[in-house]
């Protein structure tokens, strides 16, 4: 509880109870919000001394499909808030444990939960061995085609559902689709729609006007962080509106929001800005070589993803204390995993995909030959990691129970169902 409370320091106090409420809902939800707790736990485990640029919050929901700048759908890691330099096995431990915890949330047998974790690790090891044998550039440029991944699935019903989601994602502009959900036109001026407490403008008009002015300065700072050709693209758009937006589980309470831009011919563009706080890995692994935490996140995403968002950039808040932010598209044909609909076979298929994607990301900053040699060619590595995953899932349930007890005792406040 001390780690969670410390991790909530500096967040919007009125939103922190929503964070705890979401984490209370299940051990799986708790795990998604407790990257700081696991980083602390991992710091006491033995490690190989080999470091990579790590995701830092590598659980199965932080993978999925998204559109590349070439408008192809790929499967990859999609959350880099905690990205930093750390032991390579920390990401793999967190990923493996997430499959046991998710399997338990779905009511699967213990053997099926362990098998999903085991398969994620096996896929990581086998793909890392494959990368060690490939030409460096071929390995660097490899992407994971989402359509092919779905087509290779063994569950026909889930396959049809995912293929339908892919067709829908490619059929319409993500930003136009988001405009119909998140915004409306007030005369000539488009506005983001308020949906408190999750999306909201400042109720005080004077403060909202100040926030808008601050946002314009931050936009200019953000544009300066882009490559020159991206700056030319951003010149096609004008800033229209900004609102706060509550996102995810672990990010609730941080300063996050959405900005609406409109092109000369009326096309909308939604950019999400998220506060970039120190990585949960830093107390144990040291700070990454970046003065700006937004730049750290952007670097991690550009390095680890096969095809990073064209609008990735960073900016700094104008008020004291100055906060760091990174900026990306709000959604770009994003397809999230439907973990709650998976059966054991689906979860195992998905675990293999995540293990592959993590190996592909790690080999960009780590030495695939060395990592492959360490893991070897037998199942000993998978067995050890799967055993850890089961033990950590037990620990996670005890930690979740501690959070519930703290709320019941009145030590912290939680708002549930939001």
Please give the average per-residue pLDDT across 352-364, as a whole number. 97
CB 416: neighbour CB atoms within 10 A?
12
- What would the DSSP string read from start to end of 36-94? HHHHHHHTTS---S-EEEE-SS--GGGEEEEE-TTS-EEEEE---TT-EEEEHHHHHHH
| pLDDT greater than 80 at residue 352 | yes
pTM of this prediction?
Answer: 0.93
Q: Which residue has the higher pLDDT, 208 or 243?
A: 243
Q: Which residue has the higher pLDDT, 159 or 322?
A: 322
* Spatial separation of the C-alpha atoms in residues 350 and 144, rounded to whole Å: 13
In the chain, pLDDT over 70 holds for what percent of residues?
Answer: 96
Predicted pLDDT at 294: 97
For residue 195, give the 3-state DSSP assignment: strand
Phi then psi dihedrals of residue 241, to 5 deg: -160, 160
Residue 324, beta-bridge partner list: 316
| pLDDT greater than 90 at residue 349 | yes
What is the number of helices (H) and of strands (E) in the chain? 17, 12
Tell me: the pLDDT tens digits for 194-205?
998 889 887 666
Phi then psi dihedrals of residue 141, to 5 deg: -85, -5
Q: Residue 278 carries which DSSP code?
A: P
Predicted pLDDT at 181: 83
Tell me: the pLDDT tens digits for 41-88?
999 999 899 999 999 999 999 999 888 877 788 999 999 999 999 999
Averaging pLDDT over each range in 35-49, 251-265, 316-330, which range is the top one?
35-49
Predicted pLDDT at 314: 97
* Spatial separation of the C-alpha atoms in residues 59 and 56, rounded to whole Å: 9
Predicted pLDDT at 170: 66
Please give the average per-residue pLDDT across 231-259, as a whole number. 89
Predicted pLDDT at 98: 98
3-state secondary structure 10-48: CCCCCCHHHHHHHHHCCHHHHHHHCHHHHHHHHCCCCCC
CB 82: neighbour CB atoms within 10 A?
26
| pLDDT greater than 70 at residue 206 | no
Tell me: the pLDDT tens digits for 272-293?
999 999 999 999 999 989 999 9
* Window from 57-71, 157-171, 191-205, 300-314 with minimum mean pLDDT: 157-171
Predicted pLDDT at 250: 80
């Amino acid at each position: 509880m001390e780690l969670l409370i410390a991790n909530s320091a500096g967040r919007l106090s009125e939103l922190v109870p929503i964070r705890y409420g979401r984490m209370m809902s299940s051990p799986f939800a708790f795990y998604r919000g407790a990257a700081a707790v696991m980083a602390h736990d991992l710091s006491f485990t033995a490690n190989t001394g080999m470091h990579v640029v790590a995701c830092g919050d590598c659980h199965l929901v932080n993978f999925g499909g998204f559109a590349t700048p070439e408008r192809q759908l790929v499967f990859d890691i999609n959350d880099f808030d905690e990205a930093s330099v750390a032991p390579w096995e920390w990401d793999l431990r967190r990923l493996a444990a997430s499959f046991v915890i998710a399997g338990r949330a779905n009511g699967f047998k213990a053997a099926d939960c362990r098998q999903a974790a085991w398969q994620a690790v096996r896929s990581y090891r086998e793909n890392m061995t494959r990368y060690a044998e490939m030409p460096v550039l071929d390995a660097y440029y490899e992407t994971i085609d989402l359509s092919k991944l779905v087509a290779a699935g063994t569950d026909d019903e889930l396959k049809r559902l995912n293929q339908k989601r892919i067709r829908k994602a490619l059929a319409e502009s993500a930003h136009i689709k988001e405009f119909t959900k998140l915004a409306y036109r007030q005369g000539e001026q488009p506005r983001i729609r308020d949906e408190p407490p999750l999306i909201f403008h400042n109720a005080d008009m004077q403060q909202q006007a100040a926030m808008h002015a601050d946002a314009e300065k931050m936009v200019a700072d953000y544009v300066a962080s882009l490559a020159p050709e991206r700056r030319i693209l951003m010149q096609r758009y004008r800033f229209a509106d900004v609102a706060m937006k509550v996102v995810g589980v672990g990010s609730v309470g941080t300063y996050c929001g959405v900005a609406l831009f409109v092109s000369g011919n009326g096309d909308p563009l939604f950019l999400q800005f998220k506060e970039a706080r120190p990585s949960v890995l830093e107390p144990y692994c040291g700070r990454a070589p970046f003065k700006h935490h937004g730049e750290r996140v952007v670097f991690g995403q550009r390095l680890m993803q096969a095809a990073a968002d064209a609008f990735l950039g960073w900016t700094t808040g104008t008020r004291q204390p100055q906060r760091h932010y990174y900026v990306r598209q709000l959604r770009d044909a994003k397809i999230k995993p439907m973990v709650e609909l998976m059966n054991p076979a689906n979860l195992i298929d998905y675990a293999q995909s995540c293990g592959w994607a993590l190996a592909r990301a790690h080999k960009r900053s780590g030495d695939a030959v060395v990592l492959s040699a360490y893991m070897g060619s037998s199942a000993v590595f998978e067995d050890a990691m799967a055993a850890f995953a089961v033990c950590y899932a037990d620990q996670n349930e005890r930690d979740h129970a501690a959070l519930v007890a703290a709320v019941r005792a009145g030590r912290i406040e939680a708002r549930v169902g939001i």
